[in-house]
Structure formats: structure tokens, C-alpha cells
Structure 1
Amino acid sequence: MSLPQPVPPSWKDLGKSASDLLSKDYPYNTQALEVKTKTPNGVQFRVAGSQAAGPISGELEGKYTDRAHGLTLTQAWTTGNVLRTQIELENLVAKGLKLDAITSLMPDKGTKSAALNAVYKQSGVHTRAALDVFKGPTVTADTVVGRDGFLVGAETSYNVTDGTIAKWSAALGYTDTNYAVTLHGLNKFNTFHASYYHRVSADVEAGAKAVYDTKATQGGVALEVGTKTYLDKAAFVKAKINNQGVVALGYTQALRPGVKAAFGLALDTTKLSGAVDGTPSHKVGFQFTFDS
């Protein structure tokens, strides 16, 4: 008798280990501050602000979770005057089924959006469906099936009004305790992503990602490789480089329980002399996170 299969990752999380390694903890293009608090009755608040090239953008978010009834309510208000509400129901209708509705509204412009989502997870299968109420409407569905570490996934979108398939994608992968390999064919197989992640040891991780776009004006494959090293239990450094010669460095330090600081630096090795045509060639940034 074969052992029960674990729940595979969702479609959006295929290749997540490599993606997180190469994209997270590099705050070189922004200055950001995030504060998270939790009240005695379980209501969570989050205040976040960041600045890149333009004005400061921020968000105030509150989240209430009723675990006994599988209900989560999240409401947020941004500095762009966007009101966002999300209602989640998990394991209420059936075990492994999660339903949620997400709405957003810009009162000054009258812009609105609404999406209904369903996620079903069981041994060896992870499937999702989403309905964009005002755009199309469009139904998007994806499924990932896993067995003995092998993963097969597919995604498609159907425009109800036009009666046409807007896009389709597929993926293959294999994941083990210390490494993962994933190949995506996206956007009607016009773009291909290949990623690799390897936990070399308890303190060292490495990964790479290659992207080939058949519609790109400039041919070739975009390649990026990176690594992460833990200095101790409270700090780690990350480094990556791409085929355009841009080197990025990240350093994250836990200052105390609930307080984390991250610093990032990006260097364009093809323009070490500095700015070209008024555009900075190198970037620095930082992020502070307070979680109580």
C-alpha cells in the first residue's frame, strides 16, 4: 500500500523556493517600514509604508480571524485611497475547501473590482478557481497534481463574454527535501521559465532561474543565479548576479524578537563609473519590520 501523498504546492507556488531566494530580502530600490501588532482578542493590525522613486505609499490593514468557524475578515485602506476587503471561509463547507471574496473600491474615481476564489486541497492535488466579476467576466482555473515528488500543473483562463480562452500555461517539476526543479511554459507557451533550488547545507542555499521570451525584441535567455548564507541564527546575507552584469547584495539582521532590519545594494558592473544620462546605475535601500 502506497503512503498518502502530501498536498502539492499551488500553481503560483511552483518554483517558489528559487523565486524567493532570488527576489526576497533585496530592498535595494526602496525605503520601507512595516509595523505589525496583535490585540488580546486576536485582531491583527499592519501599517506599511515605502518609497521608491516617487511619493511615499502606505497601507493600513486590519485582520480578524475566527478559527472556530474558519472565518477571516481583512480590510485595508491605502494612501492611493483604495479600500480593499477580503472575506475567507476555510474548511466550513467541506474539509480542504477554502472560499474567499476580494473587493476593492476607489471612491474618488468610482473604480471597483471583485473576485471570487475557491481553493481545494487534498492528498496529491491542489486546485484553484477564480472569477473576476467585472473584467470579462473571466474564469481562471489551475491544478497541480503531485506524486512521489513529481509535480504536474496547468492553468487556463476563459472569457465568459467572448467565449474564448484568454491564456493557458503548464508546468513540470520535481521537489525533494533539499532541492527543487521546475519548468514553466507560460502565456500560451510564448514564455518559458526554468528554475533550480538547492539547500546545500543547513546554512547555505543556492538557486538559479532562466527565462526565455519568444516575443522579446532582443533574443537570448535571461539568467540569474544567487545564494543565501546564514551567519548565525539572527542574520543572513544574500547575493545574486544576472547576465546583464547587475550584482545585488542583501543583509538581514534580527535586532531583537519582533524587530528586523534589512539592507540592499545593487551594482551595475557594466557602469561602475556611476550614472548614465542622469539615471543612477547603482541602488541602495533598507527595510525595517516591527512585529509584536
Structure 2
Amino acid sequence: MAPPTYGDLGKNARDVFGKGYHFGILKLDVSTKTESGVEFSSGGYSNQDTGVVVGNLETKYKVKEYGLTFSEKWNTDNLLGTDVTIADKLLKGLSVGYSCTFSPQTGSKTGKLKTTYKHENVSATADFDLSLNAGPMVHTSAVVGYQ
């Protein structure tokens, strides 16, 4: 079994203090899946102190025979997001995805190429931030395990 990715190390400990224990915030998440395999999830929260209300909608569709996953997101800030991922088709354990966002009001766009490779003794990630304004940025990590 592959070790966890760097971002997942200590996740359970962080979740004890930060997940689901927000005072003054009302939160609702709803998900469903159709017979054809399309997943819908919607959610939102209301901050009782400031009166801020935020909502989002996400759809996800998997094409299993090609290893593809398509995901579309939209939130109340009018930010549109799309993720396309292909997993275990180019190389076993390799996942390559492209994530982009677009704000119709401001015209701002972001794009990120995400790669993850998991093998028996190593998990490695490389994310390429393809920002046109700030220039490209590369984030990498690796976790090595031995038994």
C-alpha cells in the first residue's frame, strides 16, 4: 500500500479541531447520485455573527472505461470551476488533472495542472500553477515509506 500524500499527513488530527465544530455557523450539505452515475452535491453555510451566506453546487461524472472524471462547480461568488482528471490509464498509480476557474464579473481566470503518482513505497505530487498574471509556479512533494 502506498504511503499517504504529504497533504494527507496528519489530516485526521487536524480534522479533530477544524472539521464540524464551528460555533455561530449553520451548515448544510446535500448530495445525491443518479442512476446514470452523475453526482450532484450542494451546500452552504450561514455565519450568524456577520450574516454572510455562501452556497455552492457541484456536479461530477465519471467515465470509468477511460479513467476520466469531469467536475463542474459554481458558487454564490459567481465563480465557475471545472476539473478534468484521468487516472491509471497512462501509468498505473498516475493521476493527471487540469483544474480551472473563471469569474464572469471580473474576467479573471486560473489554471492548474495537477499530477499524483502513488506506488508501493512512494507518493509524489506535482502541481503546476499556470497563472498568466503572476507567472507559472511549481509545487512538489514526496513521501517515502519503508516496511
- In the alignment, is residue 104 of structure 1 matched against residue 104 of structure 2? no
User: For the residues of structure 2 that align with 1:140 and 1:55, how far apart are their CA atoms?
Assistant: 33
Aligned to 1:30: 25
Separation in 2, partners of 1:108, 1:16: 35
Structure 1 position 146 matched with structure 2 position 141 = no
Alignment of 1:128 with 2:125, yes or no, is yes
Corresponding residue for residue 55 of structure 1 = 52
SS at match of 1:20: helix
Equivalent residue number for residue 173 of structure 1: none
- Among all aligned residue pairs of Structure 1 and Structure 2, give the percentage whose two residues are the same amino acid: 36
Give the letter aligned to residue 12 of structure 2: S
1:265-291 deviations in whole A, cap 9, x for unaligned? xxxxxxxxxxxxxxxxxxxxxxxxxxx
Q: Residue 62 of structure 2 aligns to a residue in which SS?
A: strand
| Displacement after TM superposition at 1:38 (Å) | 0.7
State the alpha-carbon separation in 2 of the partners of residues 125 and 139 from structure 1: 19
Q: Which whole-Å deviations, capped at 9, do the CAs of 1:46-78 have from their partners, x for residues lacking one?
A: 111111224211001110011221110000111
CA RMSD of aligned residues (A): 1.1
Q: Which runs of 4+ in 1 moved over 3 A?
A: none
Structure 1 position 111, deviation (Å): 1.1
Aligned equivalent of 2:115: 118
Aligned residue for 1:147, secondary structure, equals coil
Deviations 1:102-140 (A, max 9, x none): 000001101111000110000110000011001421011
More helix by percentage = 2
Distance 1:66 1:20 in 2: 31
Distance 1:144 1:54 in 2: 42
* Largest Rg, 1 or 2: 1
The aligned counterpart of 1:83 is 80
Matched position secondary structure for 1:18: helix
Aligned equivalents of 1:49, 1:14: Cα separation in 2: 27
- Counterpart CA distance in 1 for 2:63 and 2:140 is 28
1:75 counterpart SS class: strand
Note the C-alpha offset of 1:146. Answer: 0.9
AA at the equivalent of 1:137? P
Gaps of 5+ in 1: 1-5, 149-292
Q: How does 1:175-190 map to 2 (within 5 A)?
A: none
* Structure 2 unmatched runs, 5+: none
Partner of 1:137: 136
Distance 1:87 1:18 in 2: 30
* AA of the residue aligned to 2:143: V
Q: Deviations over 1:14-44 (max 9, x none)?
A: 1112112222221324111111011100000
Deviation per residue, 1:152-206 (Å, 9 max, x gap): xxxxxxxxxxxxxxxxxxxxxxxxxxxxxxxxxxxxxxxxxxxxxxxxxxxxxxx
In the aligned structure 2, how far is the partner of 1:87 from the partner of 1:137?
A: 20
